[in-house]
Amino acid sequence: MLEHNQSDDCSKLLRSLVQRYASRIKLLPDKPEDSVEATVRALWLCALGAPTSSVKALNAPLAALTTTQIDDLKELLERRASGVPLAHLTRRQDFMGLEYKCSEAALIPRKETEILAKAACSLLIEKILPVNQRPRVLDLCTGCGNLACAVANYVPECAVFAADLSPDAARLAGENAKHLGCDDRVQIFAGDLFGPFSSEQFAKSFDLIMCNPPYISTGKLPQMAEETITHEPKMAFDAGPFGLSILDRLLRDAPQYATPGGWLAFEVGLGQGPGIIQRLSKDARFKPATGVLDDNKNVRAVTAQFSHNN
Ligand SMILES: C[S@@+](CC[C@H](N)C(=O)[O-])C[C@H]1O[C@@H](n2cnc3c(N)ncnc32)[C@H](O)[C@@H]1O
């Protein structure tokens, strides 16, 4: 009977908090998993001392809170309502079904980047593993290591190398590799794009190069959601006057690091895909590129095979 009453009390408190915060928590289109209910549940678990992402929290049982924990939950909800990203409060974010550690050091992984992660895993399983059973994968602009660790988790045959210009992000990526139990397959470096891989041992050595680069033009940064621009690193978004500063360098230099006939996979901003695919079609170092679409038929990732004489 007591248990029944407790679960009734939990449901009542949950419902009343969801109702109270429905108009106060701003939902962001690029974080569709952070609904108001998922937010209340994730912060509830946080108040219980069990940090959990919004995705996992949605289906996790909620234990009763003490009075102090209810106060903690209300304070966390106030911070969320004031614009602090949910993942900065929980310190957790789901990506491809895995729980990552999160902090201000790196971009919070977005659902939309799972399009690139899935494309990379498919390329590895369908095209690369049949010709090389121990593929080498490079993840540039790794942030918290979400793409690197997802690939290492779902395609464990890979040796994954990853790097980020931000030493803090690289450190967080290393923590995630450990946290997710794939640090034996993921090596993280700090440095500028291909910089950490300039030694001879990496020349023409990667079967897959993947990258989710910054791709917002500097002029458009002020139009981004205030929460994003205030709390997430500008370095993760700003890609110069045309939004292509990193992508230009990626396309210029990648062939020096890829195995002949290896693959490139990268994320693009809304509207950038068709132009980039056309540009690759004129570059003899690549075979024709493919756009990977989101549910609204926008190209959000591009894959291309390097020519055998790249
Ligand atoms: C869009 S975020 C992607 C983060 C993560 N891979 C993801 O998918 O969520 C871009 C990342 O590129 C990093 N970055 C920016 N300029 C860079 C550069 N010149 N070399 C390497 N990394 C860079 C940023 O620090 C940031 O972590």
Question: If you measure from the C-alpha of residue 295 to the centroid of ligand 1, how many angstroms do you get, rounded to a whole number?
Answer: 25
Pairing state between β 159-164 and 136-140: parallel
Alpha carbon nearest to ligand 1 atom 12, residue? 141
Measured from the CB, is residue 269 less than 6 Å from ligand 1? Answer: no
Alpha carbon nearest to ligand 1 atom 4, residue? 143
Among 32, 34, 33, 58, residue whose Cα is nearest residue 45: 58
What pLDDT score was predicted for residue 309? 76
Measured from the CB, is residue 235 less than 6 Å from ligand 1? Answer: yes
Measured from the CB, is residue 147 less than 6 Å from ligand 1? Answer: yes
Domains and CATH numbers, the chain: 2-90 (1.10.8), 111-305 (3.40.50.150)
* 186 in Cβ contact with 148 (< 8 Å): yes
Helix (H) or strand (E) holding 255: helix 245-257
Measured from the CB, is residue 146 less than 6 Å from ligand 1? Answer: yes
Question: If you measure from the C-alpha of residue 222 to the centroid of ligand 1, how many angstroms do you get, rounded to a whole number?
Answer: 19
Distance separating alpha carbons of residues 257 and 109, to the nearest angstrom: 26
Which among 164, 193, 247 is the best mutation to test ligand 1's pocket, defined by most ligand atoms within 8 Å of the CB? 164
Does 46 score more than 90 pLDDT? Answer: yes
Which among 114, 138, 165, 224 is the best mutation to test ligand 1's pocket, defined by most ligand atoms within 8 Å of the CB? 165
Question: If you measure from the C-alpha of residue 209 to the centroid of ligand 1, how many angstroms do you get, rounded to a whole number?
Answer: 14
Phi, psi of 115 (to 5 degrees): -60, -45
Reported as a single tens digit per residue, the pLDDT across 203-212 is 999 999 999 9
Does 73 score more than 80 pLDDT? Answer: yes
Q: Which atom of ligand 1 is nearest the CA belonging to 95?
A: 9
Does 130 score more than 90 pLDDT? Answer: yes
Structure tokens at 221: 């940064």
What is the chain's mean pLDDT, rounded?
96
Pairing state between β 290-293 and 206-211: unpaired
Confidence of residue 3 (pLDDT cuts 50, 70, 90): low
Distance separating alpha carbons of residues 31 and 28, to the nearest angstrom: 5
Measured from the CB, is residue 109 less than 6 Å from ligand 1? Answer: yes
Does 190 score more than 80 pLDDT? Answer: yes
Confidence of residue 9 (pLDDT cuts 50, 70, 90): confident
Reported as a single tens digit per residue, the pLDDT across 225-267 is 999 999 999 999 999 999 999 999 999 999 999 999 999 999 9
Distance separating alpha carbons of residues 207 and 305, to the nearest angstrom: 10
Structure tokens at 138: 């490079």
Confidence of residue 4 (pLDDT cuts 50, 70, 90): low
Measured from the CB, is residue 106 less than 6 Å from ligand 1? Answer: yes
Question: If you measure from the C-alpha of residue 32 to the centroid of ligand 1, how many angstroms do you get, rounded to a whole number?
Answer: 22
* DSSP-H helix ranges across 22-104: 36-47, 54-57, 67-81, 86-90
pLDDT above 90 as % of the chain: 96
Beta pairing partners, 263: 208, 305
Does 61 score more than 90 pLDDT? Answer: yes
Measured from the CB, is residue 9 less than 6 Å from ligand 1? Answer: no
Measured from the CB, is residue 107 less than 6 Å from ligand 1? Answer: yes
Q: What is the CB-side half-sphere exposure of residue 102 using CA atoms within 13 A?
A: 25
Confidence of residue 6 (pLDDT cuts 50, 70, 90): confident
Mean pLDDT of 289-309: 95
pLDDT above 70 as % of the chain: 98
Measured from the CB, is residue 86 less than 6 Å from ligand 1? Answer: no
Does 2 score more than 60 pLDDT? Answer: no
